[in-house]
Structures are given as structure tokens and as C-alpha cells.
Amino acid sequence: MAPALDLPYEIRNVTPEEDKLIKKCVIGHTKPFVKCGKKGYVMPGAFRNHARAIHDMEVRPDDVWVITFPRSGTTWTQEMVWLLENNLDYAAARNTPLFERFPMLEISSMVPEMAIELIKADFLNLASFQGLNKAVRVQSWESIDKAPSPRFIKTHLPLSLLPPDLLDKAKVIYVARDPRDIAVSYYYLHKMVGKTLYRASFKNFWNVFKKDLLPWTPVVTHNNEAWSQRHNKNLHFVFYEDMIKDLRKVIHGMCHFLGRNYLDEQINTLADHLSFDSLRKNKNVNNTTDGNNNIQFIRKGEAGGWVTHFDQEMRDEANDYLSTRLCGLDLRYPSYNEDHIECSRL
């Protein structure tokens, strides 16, 4: 790796009150959470010790990165991209878990301090989730740094916390999703991983989410960093809702971005492979931690499902949350087409 540089952004602890709110929804962490940079991206305290290595990581010109906020179609996109870049080798995909083919850059930073020994002992199948067993033994970015090319890298970090030459060198796919649907799916992810130890209700979770106090938030700011780079030749911006609406069209667009050519019949076969019914049955993709758990890592694959989880008060809060954060931006979510964005509350 290149010599370490001083970080161009500040990392500071959240307030004690904020830390208490976060830890009601994100269990197992003992260190205070932190906010990173001027935009205040929330991360576990361990990230303080890892940020520089990630920022200084060497980017290779044949890297392919998938960047998303959590629960925005990350796994779906990873499987699509890996297969397109590997000549639709379904046999190889079946033989190797997705987290090995397409590892997560910062996952070692996300492991709760209280969970490390449990992961090593494979408590409740936690070691098999996203390759956590390896991530608690070897720093994830070190494994990626030593991996042979071409590398496929997943991250939930925003562009501003990643290597500054990323878009100058590598191909980057960014997927954004309506934050209201993200909130629901993100909650169920925490319930799946925390199992019976998880006590927060969805209303409590939403209360922290809307304050931009969960890991990797603020989500709209995260999305907008990529949206503002959407014309960069090395960044391909996709909305999750468009993948739901017309997956084959999205696959064609991805092929164009990656410089890959496939027959329509091959595209159709890939689209069938990427259907949610297929992905749920695919153990190398569906990272559900317990076969008897009724909460699946690959959930419903829908847009607009948030309405069944929000009461009227929460719907009003969600509208205020979005209209306030979208004020002054040209970013709009396909499922949130408000003609007038309320800016008076800023």
C-alpha cells in the first residue's frame, strides 16, 4: 500500500445522548459511535482506527465496486455484476459464496465488540454471515488489498470516505432506494442478526433512523454524493425501483457500462436467476443466519412496502424527513415524486 496520509476529514464521537439512542437499535457495541466528515456519517467507534487504511487503499484500474446504502439492492446488484463480469459462469457462482466473490470493504469495522468471540464460536450461525468469521481474524481491507485482480468490492461507505482516486481509476456501480423502504428492510436486518436479543420496535428504530443516527446515515446525503457524480464515465447510477420495474432493461444498461455483450436469451436467463424467488433459494447469496428464522436476508424485493409499517404519524414524519433533506437537490426517488419540496423547515 501507499504510505498512509492524514485524513482529510474529522472523526468525532456522537453526543452521549445520541450514542444512547443508537445503541437501543444497534446491539453489541461498547465504544461510542462516531460521526465522520462534514456530513456526519455515523459509524461504529472502531472505524476511527480503520478509516485511514480504507482512505489510503490502492485502487486498481480493473476493480469493480458496488456502493450502496444498506438494504438498497446490494446483494442483488453484486450477483448481477459478478456474473456479467465472469461470462455468466453460474457454476462458479454456485460453488463460492457471494461474500467471498464480492467481499465487503469495511465489514471488520462493523463487528460489535461484544460479538467477536461469539462469531469465532459460530454462535447462532453468525460466522457464516457475510464471512464474519474471517473478518474478525483478518481486517477486511487487508484481505482485499492482497486479493488478485480483478477485484470485486462491496461497500456501504459514501464516496467521500473512500479512496479519493476511486472514480478516476475503477468502475463503480451505485444503487439508491427510497429511504422509507430502506428503514423497514434495515430494521428487519437488525432483527435477523440480533434474533431474540433484539428488543427495539420498528417505531423506535424509525425514530433513530429519521434523526440520521444509524450506521452509514445520513442516507439522502449518501445517495446525493453519488447522484452528483452520475455523469462521471466511471460511475453507473441505478435506482432500486427501476430494477423492480424492468430488471432486463437495467441488466442491458449494466452491460453497456461494463462493456459486456450478451444475447437476449442470455439476458433473460440472468434475469430469471436474479428473480427474488431464485435468490431466496440460493444459499450462496441469501445470507440468512438461521434456516429456522422467519426473517430472511433476501426479503420481499418490493417498492413501496413501507406503507404497511408506517402509521399516519410516521407517514407525516417520513414526508417531512424526505422533503426537508431533498430541498435544494435535484435528486428525486422514483417512488417520491413530490412537485413541491418543502424548504421552510430548514
Q: Which residues are catalytic?
A: 156
**244 in Cβ contact with 175 (< 8 Å):** no
186 closest CA partner among 160, 158, 162, 217: 217
- Cell 444503487 -> residue: 175
* Rounded-to-integer distance, Cα 275 and Cα 264, Å: 17
SS3 115: helix
Q: Distance between CA 264 and CA 252 in Å, rounded? A: 9
* Residue in the structure block whose three cell numbers are 423502504: 181
Helices (H), the chain: 16-25, 47-55, 74-85, 90-95, 98-101, 107-110, 116-120, 132-135, 140-146, 166-169, 179-194, 202-209, 219-227, 240-245, 247-258, 264-273, 276-281, 312-326
CA-wise closest residue to 208 among 19, 34, 30, 74: 19
Beta bridge partners of 19: none
Angle, vertex CA 277, rays to CA 274 and CA 278, nearest 5:
50
Here the cell at position 333 is 426517488
Place of cell 467477536: 116
Strands of the chain, DSSP E:
11-13, 34-36, 41-43, 64-68, 152-155, 171-176, 235-239
Contact 188, 293 (CB under 8 A): no
The vertex-20 CA angle with 28 and 30, nearest 5°, equals: 30
* Residue whose C-alpha cell reads 406503507 in the numeric block: 307
